[in-house]
Amino acid sequence: MDSPSAPPKVNGLIPPLIYGGDYNPDQWTEDVWREDVRLMQEAGVNLVNLAIFSWSRIQPSEREWSFEWLDRVMDLLHEGGIRVDLATATASPPPWLAHAHPEMLPVLADGVRLWPGARQHYCPSSPVYRHAAHRLAETMAEHYAGHPALTMWHVGNEYGCHVPACYCDVSAQAFREWLKRRHGTIAELNRAWGTDFWSQRYSSWGEILPPRRTPTWPNPSQQLDFMRFSSDELLECYELEREALQRHTPEIPITTNFMSFFKPLDYWRWAEREEVVSNDSYPDPSDPQSGMRAAMAGDLMRSLGRGKPWILMEQTTSRVNWREVNVAKTPGQMRLWSYQAMARGADGIMFFQWRQSPAGAEKFHGAMVSHGPVDTSPVWHEVKALGREIRGLDRLAGSRVKAHVAIVFDWESWWALELPSKPSGRLRLLDQVESYYAAMFDTNVTADFARPVDDLRAYRLVVAPNLYLVTDQAAANLRDYVQDGGHLAMSFFSGIVDAEEHILLGGYPAPLADLLGVRVIDWFPLPADTRLAVRFEDGSPAEGELWSELIEPAGAEVLATFAAGSLAARPAVTRNHFGKGTATYLGTRLDRGTMSRLLRLVCGAAGVNPVIEAPPGVEAVSRGEFTFLLNHGDSAANVELGPEKGGTIQVGARDVAIVGLEIPEQTSA
Ligand code: GAL
């Protein structure tokens, strides 16, 4: 029986746990396809992402369609018991389209046009591109409706990855129409954009342009609207295709692959329009923070799908090809990070790509099947072993991760915060989120992400690492949450501007001052490599970096003060009792150790417990009735489970254990 939380199933045809990768058979001759299916079976592959970059093969010219080859691939896969997440193939327009309609090519802010010869060379507002992409999606849907291998639709590919915005004349016109819908009148637009500054008043819509390259900073409100517009334009491209697919194959779920914390697209709005959230994740194996960051991305994906299982759509088996130095994953790392995704709610583990390309820009990117003979490839053995394990883990499918903490995450606030000409250009939202997330990751406290306007009552603790832009609705929501007994922890430079990027006057942080019980009189951002001593009330020392500010308590108690410089003895961390709850406020970025200690205290007060007390380097996450223990360290670790769960368990270096579920025994590959 389908569990209510499982991803939508087509007549029960989506395998409970998905295993596979991007499949590009058009880069190979037909004899290789047969070998592919045989090897896929050997590796336990049950789903492939097909035809993502096949537009020029499927439609060699405007009036010519060529489906025979793809039909044969679809049939072969079906005969081999492999299901297909079929792409609409619209991510890379064919050369003929761009040559017939050069106006569909994207233009950068400085007027440079991007030419065909790579991929994603389209203006998102281009009627030519939109029409051609819709036609292709529709033709694909008509052609493959009812094909027994068709299991899911993969719309486009990584929307916005290379071209998140276009500044051409077509985009300018689309931007004006979008602005009319948002602001209604030119007078209202002038108000919203604060155009009395620097003589920017507009007299007619026709004068408005995208924020093209200007002598100095373009109007920030204009930039913010352009970011909203650009996310919406790509979303419209997605929705156009989705409409065609839904009409022809209403029973087939639809996804488009996300790119973790991808700034240009407001994924909250996108995820609402997908049956299944899917993500591409390429953590750098040489960065010790990668495990933490990949966990954070997994939590975001789960949260975007409102708790539903998601799919790790792309990762590499070994290395990528696009860093300066493409460090390979160490043995066991691919398996560990795959389990991490499952621990954080993924019901599918997939790779870019199935077979390593012989030509083209990605021929040195890792794959499930590499250039050399498979038998001599350690990666192939890892791929096969993982596939075999996943086949035995079906009980995981559909189970949910329960978090008691929510991290407030808002794309519009992110965009606004990182516009230029701020008190500090060093203040970046993801760094802020990481300073909270890492502290919780270190202590195995699981968190969801949430919008500031979401219903937060299900969470015992809400953290807002930075909410620079705050709407009245968001401020009221946070206030009500604390008033009713919730616990909030929030950092500096929050509650500063409204949705148009205008200062919320009346003393910082105007809409949140009563909730936090403080007034912020002025900011003193810190240069790189500068640390400021902080002392907690119990005498314990700490360090602040990045930011400091002059805080005037207005009801809040002081938990820590700055201990040096012109702010010495002034509050650095405060706590306010507001209604039935509390609001803790941080006026600087605390070092990681202190952040962990502080969050432990805050979690303790809110009744949030770690999943398990585990040794450093062991990540613990509960999913349904199962608890994953992931050892990121280089040596074995003993984890104390407590008497109820059977004492102590040893987890090997870069190994995983699932309490409550046996991972199938590895026979030698
Ligand atoms: C993704 C993309 C894939 C491939 C991969 C390489 O961004 O979707 O097509 O290019 O990166 O890492």
> How would you label 423-438 residue by residue, b for 16+ Cβ within 10 Å and e otherwise?
eeeebebbebbbbbbb
Please say if 640 is a catalytic residue.
Answer: no
Q: Which atom of ligand 1 is nearest to the CA of 259?
A: 7
Q: What is the residue with the minimal CA distance to atom 5 of ligand 1?
A: 352
Ligand 1 centroid to Cα of residue 499, in Å, is 34
Cα–Cα separations (whole angstroms), residue 529 to 241, 254, 590: 49, 47, 14
237 touches 130 (CB < 8 A): yes
Closest CA to 482 of 549, 579, 574: 579
SS3 letters across 456-478: CCCCCEEEECCCCECCHHHHHHH
Q: Could you tell me if 547 and 527 are in contact, meaning their C-beta atoms sit under 8 angstroms apart?
A: no
3-state secondary structure 315-377: CCCCCCCCCCCCCCCCCCHHHHHHHHHHHCCEEEEEECCCECCCCCCCCCCCCCECCCCHHHC
- Whether the CB-CB separation of 178 and 111 falls below 8 Å is answered with no
Strand blocks (E) in 218-352: 254-255, 257-258, 278-280, 310-314, 346-351
CB of residue 352 inside a 6 A radius of ligand 1: yes
Q: Which of 407, 132, 408, 162 is nearest to 265 (CA)?
A: 162
pLDDT of residue 666: 59
Between the CA of 116 and the centroid of ligand 1 the distance, in Å, is 18
Question: Does ligand 1 have an atom closer than 6 angstroms to the CB of 158?
Answer: yes
CB 575 near ligand 1, within 6 Å = no
Which of 49, 158, 364 for a ligand 1 pocket mutation test, highest count of atoms within 8 Å of Cβ?
Answer: 158
Q: Is the peptide bond preceding residue 164 cis, with omega within 30 degrees of 0?
A: no
- If we measure between CA atoms, which residue out of 465, 481, 463 comes closest to residue 473? 481
pLDDT along the chain (669 residues), means of 10: 39 76 98 98 98 98 98 98 98 98 98 98 98 98 97 98 98 98 98 98 98 97 98 98 98 97 98 97 97 98 97 98 97 97 98 98 98 96 97 95 98 98 98 98 97 98 98 98 98 98 97 98 97 97 98 98 97 98 98 96 97 96 97 97 86 96 69
Most informative mutation of 278, 362, 363 for ligand 1 (most atoms within 8 A of CB): 362
For residue 334, what are its two tokens? 């691919």
Q: What's the alpha-carbon Rg for the chain, to the nearest Å?
A: 26
| Closest C-alpha residue for ligand 1 atom 12 | 320
Say if strands 461-464 and 405-408 run parallel, antiparallel, or are unpaired: parallel
- Provide the pLDDT for residue 643: 79
CA 108 to ligand 1 center in whole angstroms: 22
Q: How far apart are CA 622 and CA 620, in angstroms?
A: 7
Q: Could you give the strand order of the β-sheet that contains 656-659, starting from the edge strand earlier in sequence?
A: 618-623, 626-631, 656-659
Catalytic entry in 158, 241, 412, 549: 158
Distance 321 CA to ligand 1 centre (A): 10
282 CB under 6 A from ligand 1?
A: yes
Q: What class is the 18-162+231-396 domain?
A: alpha beta
The reply to whether ligand 1 has any atom less than 6 angstroms from the CB of 501 is no
479 close to ligand 1 (CB < 6 Angstrom)? no
3-class DSSP state for residue 528?
A: coil
Contact at 8 Å (CB) between 267 and 411?
yes
Q: Nearest C-alpha to atom 11 of ligand 1 is from which residue?
A: 352
Residues with Cβ within 8 Å of residue 305, at least 6 apart in sequence: 271, 274, 276, 277, 345
Q: Using a 6 Å cutoff on CB, does residue 91 contact ligand 1? A: no
Question: Is residue 314 within 6 Å of ligand 1 at its C-beta?
Answer: yes
Of ligand 1's atoms, which has the minimum distance to the CA of residue 322?
Answer: 12
Torsion 270-273-277-279 (CA) sign: negative
Assign 408 to helix, strand or coil. Answer: strand
CATH superfamily of domain region 405-606: Class I glutamine amidotransferase (GATase) domain (3.40.50.880)
Atom of ligand 1 nearest to the CA of 257: 8
- Among 322, 417, 321, 428, which residue's Cα sits nearest to residue 367? 321
**Distance (Å, whole) CA 556 – CA 515:** 9
φ, ψ for residue 7, nearest 5 deg: -60, 155
Local structure of 78: helix, strand or coil: helix
Q: How many CA atoms lie within 13 A of 129 on its CB side?
A: 29
Distance 411 CA to ligand 1 centre (A): 23
161, 259, 280, 353, best to mutate for ligand 1 pocket (most atoms within 8 Å of CB): 280
Question: Where does CATH 3.40.50.880 sit in the chain?
Answer: 405-606
The single residue listed with the structure tokens 């490839």 is 377
By the 8 A CB rule, do 113 and 106 touch? yes
Q: How far is the CA of 352 from the centre of ligand 1 (A)?
A: 7
Distance from Cα 268 to the centre of ligand 1, integer Å: 22
Q: In sequence order, what DSSP letters do the residues of 553-594 get, joined into one string? A: ESSPEEEEEE-SGGGTTSEEEEEEEETTEEEEEESSEE-HHH
Q: How far is the CA of 277 from the centre of ligand 1 (A)?
A: 17
440-451 burial code (b ≥16 CB/10 A, e <16): bbbbbbbbbbbb
Please indicate, yes or no, whether the overall pTM of this predicted structure exceeds 0.95.
yes
Q: Where are the beta strands (DSSP E) in 178-297?
A: 254-255, 257-258, 278-280
Residue carrying the six token digits 């093969």: 57
Q: What element of type H or E holds 659? A: strand 656-659
Whole-angstrom distance, CA of residue 447 vs CA of residue 438: 11
Q: Which of 274, 314, 412, 434 is catalytic?
A: 314
Structure-block tokens of residue 607: 């009744």
Name the residue of 50, 157, 314, 350 to mutate for ligand 1: max ligand atoms within 8 A of Cβ: 314
Q: Is 557 a catalytic residue?
A: no
Cβ proximity of 241 and 135 under 8 Å: no
Helix (H) or strand (E) holding 47: strand 47-50
Q: State residue 58 phi and psi, 5-degree precision.
A: -75, -35
From ligand 1's centre to the CA of 336, what distance in Å?
21
